[in-house]
Structure 1
Amino acid sequence: MTHYPSGGPSPVVPPPPHDGAWSPARVDPVAGTEYGLVHLTVVPAMSGQATGSLIAGIASILVSTLVLCFGLVGAGEGWGALVAGAFALLAVLLGAGAVAGALIAMRQIRGSGLAGRLRFKGRGVAVAGCWCGAVGAGIALLSLVLSIIVGAAS
């Protein structure tokens, strides 16, 4: 085993894997040895909170269309407002969950990337989830009001 003085040859960095999951940022030689310390650059990961928020927001919009459909179809028979109210509750809960999840994701993304911590990405996905959740809850509430008005007029 050959020991190099501090001014000896630089350690050899192994090639990164083919999937590109990491790449060496820098190599610090360990004094008095032939070894070096490799500092890796880690690829940022997508925030799961942001993705979940977008999924919940889209689900809120889809359920809010059910509120409108059931509210208008059942208005003449008297059951429209009741069924629309049940689906409106589900849509509002999904929308509120999407907004809360998006806010948590944006805080997670903003606080990530400090020294020694994983960096998250997906702020745009979180913003889209926040908007979809708010729009879905709003459409559900407006559709419920519309179905109650149409049901009372019938």
Structure 2
Amino acid sequence: MTQQPAADPFPPPSAPPAQQFAVPPPSPSGRWQPERVDPLPGTEFGLVQLRVMPITSGLAIGSLIAGIGSILVSFLVLCFGITGADSGWGGWVSGAFTLLSVVFGAGAVVLGLVARRQIRRSGHTGQVRFTGGGMAISGLVCGCAGAGIALLSLALALVLQVSS
């Protein structure tokens, strides 16, 4: 039997052309785009930093939802306060819904402030960039407005109930 020479399992690396580091091949889905390609000196490899697409902040969305909820509940405070003023139950029901509206409003304000901080601190190279600053501000405004409307409506309901 004659032995054939074994193939070298680790062939010597061939020098790649310099253009190979310019742009990596595109991904099949097209979602990943390179932001920067840094060749590693002395090797045939390169370091690819991908572009991270911006994401809408979930905290900003939550702030807006809580602020709108606060406004909707504050209108319930107004309706129940005016409707039940003659019967004597308007102040009690309005008080319960006022508490709910103020809790929603405070939640909207806290979420809006945290979302604005998250958006402001994001976006460094290689990190996720959050968007939604307008939603965060809208949540802040709606939360404050909802809590204010609820407190004024409760005051109106109590004045109407006492005067009846």
Normalising by the residue count of structure 2, what TM-score does the alignment of the two structures yield? 0.84
CA RMSD of the aligned region, Å? 1.8
Decide whether the 8 Å contact of 1:4 with 1:32 is kept in 2.
no
Aligned to 1:114: 124
1:141 to 2:151 alignment: yes
Aligned to 1:75: 85
1:72-96 Cα distance to aligned partner (Å, 9 max, x none): 1111110000000000010011101
Where in structure 2 are the equivalents of 1:11-22 lying within 5 Å? 11=21, 13-18=24-29, 20=31, 22=32
1:92-144 Cα distance to aligned partner (Å, 9 max, x none): 11101101111111111111123443221111110000000000000000100
CA deviation after TM superposition for structure 1 residue 16, in Å: 3.7
Query: CA–CA distance in 2 between the matches of 1:17 and 1:89?
Result: 53
1:100 to 2:123 alignment: no
Decide whether the 8 Å contact of 1:57 with 1:132 is kept in 2.
yes
What amino acid is the match of 2:58?
G
Aligned to 2:4: none
Which of 50, 53, 57 is equivalent to 2:67? 57
Q: How many pairs were matched up?
A: 152
Query: CA–CA distance in 2 between the matches of 1:107 and 1:101?
Result: 10
Query: CA–CA distance in 2 between the matches of 1:50 and 1:34?
Result: 44
Decide whether the 8 Å contact of 1:112 with 1:120 is kept in 2.
yes
Aligned to 1:30: 40
Query: CA–CA distance in 2 between the matches of 1:147 and 1:8?
Result: 78
The list of structure 1 runs, each at least 4 consecutive aligned residues, that deviate by more than 6 angstroms after superposition, is none
Aligned to 2:139: 129
Q: Secondary structure at the match of 2:61?
A: helix
Aligned to 1:45: 55
CA deviation after TM superposition for structure 1 residue 37, in Å: 1.7
Query: CA–CA distance in 2 between the matches of 1:17 and 1:63?
Result: 48
Which structure has the bigger radius of gyration?
2
Query: CA–CA distance in 2 between the matches of 1:39 and 1:19?
Result: 15
Give unmatched runs, 5+ long, in structure 2.
1-10
CA deviation after TM superposition for structure 1 residue 17, in Å: 4.6
